[in-house]
Structures are given as C-alpha cells and as structure tokens.
Amino acid sequence: MRDVARLAGVSIKTVSNILNGYQYVRPETRERVDDAIRELGYHVNVSARNLSRGRTGAIALVLPALRGVYFAELADAVMREASRRGLTVFIEQTNAERDRELRVLDGSYRSRFDGVLYSPLALGQNDLPLFDVDFPLVLLGERVFDGGVDHVTMSNVEGARAATEHVLDRGATTVVPLGVKDDPSPSSGTLRFQGFRDALRSRGLDVDPRAIIGVPDYFHATGATTIARILDSGVEPDAVVAFTDTLALGALAALQDRGLRVPEDVLLIGFDNIDEANYSRPPLSTIDPGRDVIAHRAVALLEERIQLQFDGVPREERPAPRRIVIDFELIQRQSTLR
C-alpha cells in the first residue's frame, strides 16, 4: 500500500480509503491510484487486514461426520454462503466423540476462528452449562435445546408427520418407521419418530412393535439391514417412512432384493432431500428440510454475533439468543406414486 501511495503521489490513507470503497475521492485521484495498483500488481492481503482488525476472517463448521451425505451437502451450502460474505470456512468432524465435542467449547477455537457453527451429537441437555462460552457460537441440529446461544434447526416432527400422512393418504395401512433411536433424548430420530406416530394415531392406527428396531447410524447399509430385520420379523409393510434418505435408499435396495416393488408393493419416502434421492430408481419421495435456508440463516446469525463481539458490545446489551426453525417441503417422486 505504501508503494502504491508513492507511485500515485497520494497518502497511504487515500489508498486505504479507495480500497475500502470510500466514495468522496476525486475521480482523478482514484484513477491515479487504480493505475498504480495495476502497474504494481498490488492485491489486498485479506489475512493481514483481518488480523490487524482483531479478526481472522475464518469460521469453523464442526459436524459429526462428513460421511453422512446430509452433512456433506450442508457443509457445501455453508461454504457457499460464507464465501458470499467474504468468510473462509474450516471444517472439522468429531465422529460424535464426546471428548472432541467438548474441545469445541473449551476456548481453543477462539484464537483461530471468529466464530463456530456447531452440530453436536455426543453432548446433550445435561451439558447445557458448557455452552455458555465467550465466543460467537451458533448451534445446528437437535441434540441441545435452550443452550443460551443462537440455534437454527428444522421442522423434524412436522416433516415426519407430513411424510407419514402422505403415504396414508395414498392408501397405506401398515406403515413402518426406519430410523428409530434407542436413546430417548432429543435427536432428529426421536423427533421424527414422534411425528410419525402422531400421524398414525390421528388416523386411529399404531405401528407394529416388531417394526420398531433401533439403529446405530443413518448410513445406507443400516437402512438395508434394518428393513431386512423388519421383514424377517413377519411384518408385511405397504409403506416405509425412513427418517433419512440414506436409510431409505438402503431400504430400497433390500426391498428390491426381496422381490418387492417400489411403489407397487411398498411405498417409500425419506427425509433430507439429498441429491442422490433424485437419481435412484425409482426416484425417492422425501422431505426437504430447507438445507440452503438453514445455511443462510446460520451464517447470517454467526456473522452478526461476530460483529457484535468485534465492536465490543457488552453481552448484556446484545440480542437474546434466537431459535429459528426452518420450514419443510414435501417432495413427491415416483417412490410413493403408484
């Protein structure tokens, strides 16, 4: 910047004003500075600028596992939104290990990142005091509620209820869930099971107890093995409501291996609207939880908290923590359209 100022015959302050978009600069002065920048090949050192301001320009996105397709696509949406705002995203996966999730809250991220987007799985309601941190933090997911920080989540109960009502409206009477969690604490699985059961009970139905099989994860193989166990138990479903698309796609393969046709014999619907769902055969009906909207709102909230911290606004004068629930959309494809 000093070299640019010398070549253009202006002060360093003038160069800084022009680079920062200050409007009240004479056109001829701006032209001289622009010419000097082009001649010298000058580029702003964003990292140095942010560090001089006490900011890194980087945020952390901490997820359970990128192997989960939904989380991989969420990471992509967050990175696109952050890039639009001039932020760099560093991604870490915890593998849902408690020690690794605790390290996110111990302050070690404070010096490396301006703020953190955080989706914990191993931590829960009993850990609420740990979320009282002195750095910008926005929660994602369903494991922790009322953590005293901003929280962006999806309509799990309502979405699962809509998925179940959809197959009931299409004539299903023996509907089984796929993705029930043994752990009764809040999670996407427990909330979606609640919505599933609410829909059945509103029609005077309930699920066959033999079909309630807990799952350890939400991967394709788990969907295949769990639906096989349900069939082996003697249950003959005419519809399956899977709590993730990956479970549904695994179930689709297993059903076809058993000679059952989707949707002619069994209706099948998932949850998450991952890209892969549109390319299965048949294409998978699903619940779109608003992944891009979640990314947009979460990054916007975090950026707001970062700015308040940078401006030195006392915590008691900042806005109260907000909980934002993003609406869903039912996507109907061939897997539920006989």
335 within some domain: no
128 within some domain: yes
- The verdict on 173 and 218 lying in the same domain is yes
Q: Can you give the pLDDT at residue 330?
A: 98
Q: Express each pLDDT in 222-277 by its tens digit.
A: 999 999 999 999 999 999 999 999 999 999 999 999 999 999 999 999 999 999 99
Give, in order, the Cα–Cα distances in Å from 12 to each of 17, 46, 173, 229. 9, 17, 75, 72
- The verdict on 271 and 319 lying in the same domain is no
In this structure, the dihedral spanned by the alpha carbons of residues 292, 295, 301 and 305, taken in order and rounded to 10 degrees, is -160
172 within some domain: yes
Q: Express each pLDDT in 61-88 by its tens digit.
A: 999 988 889 999 999 999 999 999 999 9
What is the share, in percent, of the chain residues with pLDDT greater than 70? 96
CATH number, domain with residue 166: 3.40.50.2300
- The verdict on 69 and 130 lying in the same domain is yes
Instruction: Tell me the residue range of the domain where 198 lies.
Output: 156-288
- CA gap 229, 293 in Å, rounded: 36
Question: Can you spell out the DSSP letters for 136-177?
Answer: -EEEESSS--S-SSEEEEE-HHHHHHHHHHHHHHTT--SEEE
**Residues in contact with 293: Cβ distance below 8 Å, sequence separation at least 6, in sequence order:** 326
Q: Can you give the pLDDT at residue 52?
A: 52
- The verdict on 150 and 296 lying in the same domain is yes
Give, in order, the Cα–Cα distances in Å from 124 to each of 62, 96, 147, 194. 16, 12, 10, 19
198 within some domain: yes
Q: Kindly tell me if the per-residue pLDDT of 51 is higher than 80.
A: no
Q: How many domains does the chain have?
A: 3
- The verdict on 280 and 256 lying in the same domain is yes
- The verdict on 85 and 189 lying in the same domain is no
Give, in order, the Cα–Cα distances in Å from 154 to each of 25, 61, 87, 89, 291. 47, 18, 24, 22, 9
pTM for this entry: 0.82
- The verdict on 38 and 105 lying in the same domain is no
Confidence of residue 145 (pLDDT cuts 50, 70, 90): confident
197 three-state secondary structure: helix
125 within some domain: yes
Asked whether 248 and 283 are in contact (CB, 8 A), the reply is no
- Residue 95's CB is within 10 A of a number of other CB atoms, namely 12
Residue 75 Ramachandran class (φ > 0 left, ψ -120 to 50 alpha, else beta): alpha
259 within some domain: yes
Choosing from 44, 64, 79, the residue where a domain stops is 44
332 within some domain: no
CATH number, domain with residue 39: 1.10.260.40
- The verdict on 127 and 114 lying in the same domain is yes
